């Protein structure tokens, strides 16, 4: 019998937080090339798992308003759980039909120290 299941859609693994702004409307702001690299969508729910601190939170993605590449800016209340230099995993999920699960392949990108894709 077919039913919907939640699967990992995409993730940036071992990325580095570059900014944390507590006095800001909540979310995580990513530079445009990271949004594209992760195959994320604007305002998409994202899980932020902090490898350095061992914390997890859920927020949404917005585009970073600046010119710097490789930016991951944790904002608002979430900034209490992430500091610049912390290593994180950013993960998004999708609902799919259970019959497609055996052939599902999430988009996974392992990151370098400078928030570029590891080859």
Which residues share a beta bridge with 10? 92, 107
- CATH code of the domain covering residue 96: 2.40.40.20
Phi-psi region of 93 (alpha: psi -120 to 50; beta: other; left: phi over 0): beta
Tens-digit pLDDT profile for residues 45-89: 999 999 999 999 999 999 999 999 999 999 999 999 999 999 999
pTM of the model: 0.94
Contact 70, 31 (CB under 8 A): yes
In a domain, 115, yes or no: no
| Distance in angstroms (rounded) separating the CA atoms of residues 99 and 55 | 33
Residue numbers annotated as active site: 27, 60
| 117 domain residue, yes or no | no
Q: Is residue 119 in some structural domain?
A: no
For residue range 7-38, list pLDDT tens digits in order.
Answer: 999 999 999 999 999 998 879 999 999 999 99
What the block records as the tokens of 51 is 């490898």
Is residue 84 domain-resident?
yes
Query: Domain range holding 62?
Result: 4-110
């Amino acid at each position: 019998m077919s039913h919907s299941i939640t699967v990992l859609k995409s993730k940036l693994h071992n990325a580095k937080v570059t900014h944390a702004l507590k006095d800001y409307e909540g979310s995580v702001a990513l530079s445009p090339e990271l949004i594209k690299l992760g195959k994320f969508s604007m305002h998409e729910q994202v899980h932020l798992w902090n490898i350095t601190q061992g914390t997890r939170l859920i927020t949404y993605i917005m585009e970073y308003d600046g010119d710097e590449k490789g930016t991951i800016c944790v904002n608002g209340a979430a900034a209490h759980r992430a500091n610049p230099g912390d290593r994180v995993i950013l993960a998004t999920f999708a609902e799919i039909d259970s019959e497609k699960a055996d052939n599902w392949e999430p988009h996974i990108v392992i990151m370098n120290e400078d928030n570029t894709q590891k080859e």
